[in-house]
Amino acid sequence: MKTSNFISSIAFAIVLLLTTNAGAQEFSKLDKSPMDATIYRTSRNAPAIAKVIYSRPQLKGRSLGSLAPNGKVWRTGANEAANITLYEDVKIGGKTVSAGEYSLFTIPGEKEWTIILSKDINVWGAYSYKEANDAIRVPAPVTTASESLEAFSIAFTNDALHLGWGTTRVAVAFTK
């Protein structure tokens, strides 16, 4: 009788050990270009008007031009194309855009960037970008800041959507 209890105990311990390890989760390390979000509201307690979800690549000694080349469509961040959700109709660069979900692409330039909202969503990079699916394209002037941003950044003010990386700054009018 003692032998069967011992064998049962060993069998139970093995099953417990196997099921405990089988349920263990392997988490990946922090992404080299972590995901971030920025939300546009008219005040702290007001409902969101827009939200951008994007990944934040780092310069790490590289030039902005090598990571987001002038004249080429860029996913506006890293990994998946930046995603912008508009919770109501807005004006971007003076053009009305309907509420909905879009990918945010840009075409960097020395003096001006082209801001693009594409109807194609949930896309990785800009590899499958199709101009025919643009909802809008608007120009935005480039300025230079004295402070350098190591990580690509997106922010809203009450009247603009701002992109910044290195000393490059781009702002496009963004209003209700």
Residue-wise pLDDT tens digits, 92-116: 999 999 999 999 999 999 999 999 9
The pLDDT tens digits of the residues spanning 71-89 come to 999 999 999 999 999 999 9
The pLDDT tens digits of the residues spanning 28-51 come to 888 888 999 999 999 889 999 999
CB-CB contact of 75 with 125 (8 Å):
yes
Q: What is the pLDDT of residue 87?
A: 98
Rounded to a whole number of angstroms, the CA Rg of the chain reads 24
CB-CB contact of 55 with 78 (8 Å):
yes
Tokens encoding 86? 């508009």
Query: 89-98 burial, b for 16+ CB within 10 Å, e for fewer?
Result: ebebbeeebe
* 176 Cβ contact partners less than 8 Å away, ≥ 6 residues apart: 42, 49, 88, 90, 91
Q: What is the pLDDT of residue 3?
A: 60
Model confidence at 52: pLDDT above 70 = yes
Across all residues in the chain, what is the average pLDDT? 90
CB-CB contact of 104 with 52 (8 Å):
yes
Helix, strand, or coil (residue 157): coil
Burial grade of 80 (CB within 10 A; 0-12, 13-18, 19 or more)? middle
